[in-house]
Structure 1
Amino acid sequence: MPLSRRTLLGLGGALVAAGLSGVGACGRAAPAPVARRGTFEVEHDDDQWRRLLAPAQYNVLRGHGTERAFSSPLNGEHRRGTFHCAGCALALFSSAAKFDSGTGWPSFWAPLHGAVGEMRDSTLGMLRVEVHCRRCGGHLGHVFDDGPRPTGLRYCINGVALDFIAA
């Protein structure tokens, strides 16, 4: 049964109120890093990723964490440009597909062609679709079916997983 944005936000608020930091409507608490060696064009061992990424980036991209809602400056980024993976610099989203979802995370109605991969995520007792960088496998966020036209999708992305390059 698909959950509405209101239900997801309510669940996220209840979890945060219960004291579960690092959990929000777009994500989950950070588990141990996922080892999927040999799958992606850009790969590093865990120690290399820790040296390459800031702690918050590592938590999200490699540990599947979630940044706090409304904490990313990219949520309010409205200039023309491209959003790139903070792990490998692959262009992921165009500013033309960005919209204000009101959820507190940068949201897009579509990624750039061939930029992301998706996989089933059944954590937190609900079925969601996780979005990751297709080149390095970095966790970006989740995609939901409550977005605007033309796709009706909302790619709810952690800003810390992105770098913005203005046009």
Structure 2
Amino acid sequence: MLDLPEKIAWLTRNRSRLLLGSILIAVIVLLFMVVRSSLLRVKPAADPVQPAARVLPDDVEGVLTTFSYSEADDEVKIKISGKRVVRRGRRLLGLRSNLVKTNFIEELTGTVRTSRGTTTFAADQAEWDAQSTGPLLLKKGVSVTINDKPLPQVKHARIYLKSGVIEINDDGKSYPMK
């Protein structure tokens, strides 16, 4: 058996091994506790009566499930409808604005009837300014038909309802509707 000075000498010679061993034991115990707590974690059951409220970003002013717009006078009849509308800030320089609001519309369809004929259009995604005064921008999945003749290869379009003009693909091609 070792007396006290020999024990102290042995501890000083082997202190790095003892420290490493105690750290290893602490890591193993900690790992065991983490695994055990994750296996025993009980998740509360979701309440089927009240679904969790979806938190909207700060720039989203509102969400509608359906949308319709109609305007009629002696010369022009306009009908536009969409599936889902999100009113939120417009992207300016890569950032969303809280001041400039835009309506983002999904699955938009519309018809403009005038004395010159009928223009129908549809798009998977569209944008329209919050006051509905600017052009209606058709973004994805766009199809445009003028007097039952479909326009080929329409990628996007701008519809100016007040002036009665539709611009296709930023080519400078415009078609009067009035």
TM-score of Structure 1 vs Structure 2, range by shorter chain: under 0.3
Higher radius of gyration, 1 or 2? 2
Q: Which has the higher contact order (CA 8 A, sep 6+)?
A: 1
Structure holding more strand per residue: 2
Query: Scaled by the length of structure 2, what TM-score is found?
Result: 0.22
